[in-house]
Structure 1
Amino acid sequence: MSSPGDVPPEILNRLRPICRQLPESYEEPAWIGVRWRIRTRTFAHVYMPDAQRSSVYAPYAAADQELVVMTFRVPVDDLLGLTAGGFPFFRADWGHNVVATVLGDHIDWTELAELITDSYRLMAPKFLAAKVTLPPPLS
């Protein structure tokens, strides 16, 4: 069993190409898991939370599968629409526009790439955000 914060390599291998294609973005270890940043601002963070220590994750923990969560920013106007449907999206318990999603076999990676790109656009300087187009569909 992994310790809290460790992210399975197969998840990181799916996220890295999405995040690295964004101008001047970089990856670094976070206090738990891995985060991607533009300058000093985090636009995506993936980690394995300890669901027993934080009740926000408890509804998403399964006995037979380790919980992997990604957080990112969304425009405030999109927050309710994204989280109202429930699983796999939910409102993070910090930040006014932070959404979390449970990663796993159910994830639409094309949609997630679009959400990460939108998060980058919110956090990046305007001149860098203007350079970004939506990523091509993932295989």
Structure 2
Amino acid sequence: MTARPDVPDAWIDRLAGILEAFPECVADRAWVGTRWRVRGSTVAHVFGGEDQLFRLIFRAEPGEVPAFENLGDPYFRVNWGESTVGILVDEATDWDEVAELLTDSYCVQAPAALAELVERPPVAGS
């Protein structure tokens, strides 16, 4: 079995800077990698795979999941519920885009009273 690589510390720090700015969003060790949760619900999970690729799993509105599937690489569908999506993270990752995705993920997972405290990015075309 091939060992899973550790996610680079700089990426963990970058993700923490985004996620831990949200109310009650905290990091903890997952079965592999690091995850961020709000009141027990996972907002994001980053880990290295046996294929040596790094994956960031997050939540999207269920109606948006097919759009991510259709976009293809670097996005992929995750079979962990109807609202779960993943993105491959590498040196070319657009961290501004990741911040928007994680903001939405937090708002999907957080209780409404907490989600209302977060400024969401504007929807394209509005």
Query: TM-score, normalization: structure 1?
Result: 0.81
- Consecutive aligned runs of 4 or more in structure 1 exceeding 6 Å deviation: none
Q: Name which of 66, 79, 104 aligns with 1:80.
A: 66
**Separation in 2 of the partners of 1:70 and 1:96?**
16
**Separation in 1 of the partners of 2:39 and 2:80?**
21
Using the TM superposition, give the Cα deviation of residue 11 of structure 1 relative to its aligned residue in structure 2, in angstroms: 1.2
Using the TM superposition, give the Cα deviation of residue 81 of structure 1 relative to its aligned residue in structure 2, in angstroms: 1.2
Instruction: Map residues 24-35 of structure 1 onto 2, 5 A cutoff.
Output: 24-35=24-35
Percent identity between matched residues is: 38
Using the TM superposition, give the Cα deviation of residue 5 of structure 1 relative to its aligned residue in structure 2, in angstroms: 6.0
Is this contact kept in 1: 2:44–2:58, CA < 8 A? yes
Query: Can you give the 5+ residue segments of structure 2 that lack an aligned partner in the other structure?
Result: 122-126
Letter in 2 for 1:124: A
**Separation in 1 of the partners of 2:8 and 2:81?**
26
**Separation in 1 of the partners of 2:120 and 2:83?**
20
Q: Which residue matches 1:132?
A: 118
Is this contact kept in 2: 1:73–1:99, CA < 8 A? yes
Query: Can you give the 5+ residue segments of structure 1 that lack an aligned partner in the other structure?
Result: 52-65
Q: Which residue matches 1:70?
A: 56
Query: TM-score, normalization: structure 2?
Result: 0.88
Aligned length: 120
Instruction: Map residues 1-139 of structure 1 onto 2, 5 A cutoff.
Output: 3-4=3-4, 6-51=6-51, 66-134=52-120
Using the TM superposition, give the Cα deviation of residue 24 of structure 1 relative to its aligned residue in structure 2, in angstroms: 0.7
**Separation in 2 of the partners of 1:18 and 1:71?**
15
Using the TM superposition, give the Cα deviation of residue 83 of structure 1 relative to its aligned residue in structure 2, in angstroms: 2.1
